[in-house]
Amino acid sequence: MTSDDMNSIIQRNRLLQEQNDLLREQNELLRQKAATASESDERDVFIEDIDHDEMRAGFLVTSHRKKLWNAQIKLINEFARICKKHNLRWFAYGGTLLGAARHKGYIPWDDDIDLVMLRPDYEKFKSVVEEELKNHPHYHTWYWFNYRLETDEDFEQPIDIDLPLISAEQEKQFPAWAPFHPLMRLVDDRTTFLMPDARKNVFYAVWIDLLCLDPCPPFPDENSADNFEISRELLMAVSLPEHVRNAMKNNEKFLLPYDELENFIRQAYKTRARSFELFLLKNYFPAPYVGEIRHYTLTEQRLSYTMESFSKAVYLPFEKIELPVPVGYDEILTAIYGDWHKLVITYSHSYEYSADIPYKEYFQKTAFK
């Protein structure tokens, strides 16, 4: 073998070694990327065995439903981040509280999330959430007074195809819902969530409900009771103004003077909604009892809870996360459900949903008309 042959072999071996080194580096980068992606996927999955159906409490929980739950928990985590940053208190509530206490997660047949705040924290959250979400391309807030009636002539609110419309028939059928419900939602526009009592050709995405508690009866003094009654009159004037007008025609008693009520009703719809909530904030105080003022005004479910029950939070498991629940959660659940340990299967809120298809794409492609 000549020296040239030897040099050629050495050079070829050196090139092979360099190629092997490059391949090892590429493989290590791919391994790290795969590991990072796996860790990222794991961080984004909060439901056990999300890709498979399972039976929970005798109810079939599909992978489809689990993906909906997972999208909602991501919204919870974003909500929790904002609240932690601004030192705001919040609690699981309603069916979400029941799920945490009884199932350590979702009620198997449930498909929504209910969270609650006391009025000062709720209003502070409203004041910071838009700024907090400005860099998130898919999370948005949605206020119930973004509804529009077909007959609404509120020029303060521009007509937008994405604003849900309520027909006159629906307004009559759902008086407690249409057009005003004092709550807000955090929604993910990459998803679809359709309810049976909603217009099907407008905005509906996966959401979490953010509810608010205010001072409710029984009150320690007459002035507090009067403020509560005034807030109920304002809520009626926001939600069902014609009912208030008819009551005034029949000389029914109001704490607010007739002329003030009439001037209030003549204001633009969103102005009335905002004024109502500002009145509640201005007159908030640490009352012995709290509740949802909507229940006292528009429904028969008049529930009050002791403020002591909301004096601090304890944490309960909820799927793969933990949720803050009121320390007096047993009292609250008993007030709402009675024997809350007993399983009672109820209806789902949604008749159709997807955690994968944005609602705009859904409406473009669906055969539903």
Query: Of 4-8, 51-55, 229-233, 364-368, where does mean pLDDT reach its minimum?
Result: 4-8
The answer to whether the peptide bond before residue 218 is cis (omega within 30 degrees of 0) is yes
Question: Alpha-carbon distance 274 to 271, whole Å?
Answer: 5
Question: Alpha-carbon distance 315 to 327, whole Å?
Answer: 9
Question: Alpha-carbon distance 56 to 58, whole Å?
Answer: 5
- 3-class secondary structure, 352: strand
Query: Of 104-118, 176-190, 256-270, 275-289, where does mean pLDDT reach its minimum?
Result: 176-190
pLDDT value, residue 152: 45
Q: Domain residues of the chain, as ranges?
A: 54-218+286-365, 222-282
DSSP annotation of 231:
H
> Using 50, 70 and 90 to split pLDDT, how confident is the model at 313?
very high
pLDDT tens-digit map of 15-62: 667 777 776 777 666 666 555 444 444 569 999 999 999 999 999 999
% residues pLDDT > 70 (the chain): 78
- Residues 215 and 231: beta-carbon distance below 8 Å: no
pTM to 2 decimal places = 0.82
Q: Which residue has the higher pLDDT, 89 or 158?
A: 89
Strand 206-215 versus strand 289-291 pairing type? antiparallel
The answer to whether the peptide bond before residue 179 is cis (omega within 30 degrees of 0) is yes
Per-residue burial over 290-326, b if 16 or more Cβ lie within 10 Å, else e, is: bbbbbebbbeeeeebbbbebbeebeebebbeeebbbb
Question: Alpha-carbon distance 145 to 164, whole Å?
Answer: 10
> Which two three-digit tokens encode residue 103?
């199932």
310: left (phi over 0), alpha (psi -120 to 50) or beta: alpha
C-alpha distances in Å from residue 249, one per residue of 58, 151, 217, 260? 55, 23, 28, 15
